[in-house]
Amino acid sequence: MTPGPWLRLLAIASTTGVAAVVATGEWGLAHDVVANITLALLAAVVLCARLAHRHRRTLLIASGTAFVLFALAGLSALVGAPVAVHLSLGAAALVAAAVAAAVCARGGEPVPRAAWRDYLTLTKPRIMVLLLLTAAGGMFVGTEGVPPLGLFVATMAGLALACGGASALNHVLDRDIDVHMRRTDKRPVASGRIPVERALEFGLALSALSFVVLASFVNVLAALLALAGGLFYVLVYTRWLKRSTPQNIVIGGAAGAVPPLVGWAAATGNLTLPALFLFLIVFFWTPPHFWALALLIRRDYEAARVPMLPVVKGEAQTARSIVTYSFVLVAVSLLPFLWHTVGLFYLASAVALGLAFVALALLLRRQTTPANARHLFSYSLLYLALLFVAMALDPILF
């Protein structure tokens, strides 16, 4: 299959990046920043070549060579090798990257273009909006007010790319499960509307571009956190935990709890204990939220042989676990106030929202019906959104 536009974009961007690094050899910090960004782009091209275009050996060899030579060039500078060695490795990396870009531009088997709506679906926009909202809350609390507009836009854009890229890769890895579930069998990759290779390129391209945006316009810590969250979601949760243990969403929930850390890091340039509190709120919110959904689509998970808690332990045990985590969630949600990170407005909001959450969880335990599960699932989305809105508003209003 012909390399698609996303891989071609990555190949061109990485070649341009290598050229820029060679050209900015005397620019100090700018040279280092561009080098780090370029290394991420080259890695994405190698992954695309390895995972989506194994038959194009020239592409894999050229991109892999470019990555290795570029890494060696950076290493040579760190160990104090002669300038001639550093420059020679950089020039060789540029040649290899250019070859990879040329291979990507070659013609081949035509592939029908998918609708833009299908590519948008790959990014899971509804989930993305909630994740961005938690990141925004982290930024406002970290700033103790309204963050600078440019920084806010760059952070939201970079994180949106990270979330979209990880979600697209999730579509690829879960396609064998999705075809057995009514909720997901119409997804673009599972239904065949987007070829696996194109979805891979798309996901890797968004992930690489996320690192570029965050490292360039925010800071490297935020870029690394977003990258780590995406890798955890794709490799640890999707690839391993989801298929192996009923505690999948408990451990895997850490991936969805990373955006507040990204927002905090973007605003402050560091991670401190109050940032961990924001992480814990989303971490403990995830199990009751997702288990409520799992109760609604338990038969789908059974058909797909996914060991979600209702499938393995039953509905009654799931309802009891939801109540336990709901109480822990409410307690954890008070930590930002107890640490004096936020004030009374947030406290009142957290208590009111938390009491409603616990009430719905107790109702579900008393009567484990689809209607009660649906009510808790719907409210849990509103709960997290309103909680982080209150968190963001508190330092502004008071």
Residue 34 has pLDDT above 90, yes or no: no
Which range, of 48-52, 106-110, 142-146, 383-387, averages the lowest pLDDT? 106-110
- List, for residues 261-282, the tens digit of each pLDDT value: 999 999 999 999 999 999 999 9
DSSP 210: H
Q: How is 14-62 classified by DSSP, letter by letter?
A: HHHHHHHHHHTTT-THHHHHHHHHHHHHHHHHHHHHHHH-TT-HHHHHH
Taking each helix axis as running N to C, give the angle between helix 125-143 and helix 149-173, from 0 to 180 degrees, rounded to the nearest 10: 150
- Mean pLDDT, the chain, whole residue set: 92
Helices (H), the chain: 5-23, 29-52, 57-78, 83-105, 116-122, 125-143, 149-173, 175-178, 196-217, 220-231, 242-244, 248-256, 258-268, 273-296, 298-304, 309-313, 315-333, 335-338, 344-366, 370-397
- Measured distance CA(3)–CA(1) in Å, rounded: 6
Q: What is the pTM for the complete model shown?
A: 0.91
- List, for residues 44-68, the tens digit of each pLDDT value: 999 999 998 888 889 999 999 999 9
pLDDT at residue 85, rounded to an integer: 87
- List, for residues 283-299, the tens digit of each pLDDT value: 999 999 999 999 999 99
CB 231 within 8 A of CB 111: no
Percent with pLDDT over 70 in the chain: 96
- Measured distance CA(26)–CA(86) in Å, rounded: 13
Indicate the domain borders of the chain: 5-105, 116-397
Side chain identity, residue 13: A
116-397 architecture in CATH?
Orthogonal Bundle (1.10)
Percent with pLDDT over 90 in the chain: 79
CB atoms within 10 A of CB 57: 11
Average pLDDT over residues 66-95: 88
CB 97 within 8 A of CB 18: yes
pLDDT at residue 81, rounded to an integer: 82
pLDDT at residue 335, rounded to an integer: 97
Residue 24 has pLDDT above 80, yes or no: no
Instruction: List the end-to-end C-alpha distance of the chain, in Å, as a whole number.
Output: 58
Residue 332 has pLDDT above 70, yes or no: yes
Please tell me the total number of residues recorded for the chain in this structure: 398
- List, for residues 185-243, the tens digit of each pLDDT value: 999 999 999 999 999 999 999 999 999 999 999 999 999 999 999 999 999 999 999 99
Determine which helix (DSSP H) or strand (DSSP E) holds 86, and give its type and residue range. Answer: helix 83-105
Residue 78 has pLDDT above 90, yes or no: no
Q: How is 276-315 classified by DSSP, letter by letter?
A: HHHHHHHHHHHHHHHHHHHHHTHHHHHHHT---HHHHH-H
- List, for residues 102-139, the tens digit of each pLDDT value: 988 775 566 667 788 999 999 999 999 999 999 999 99
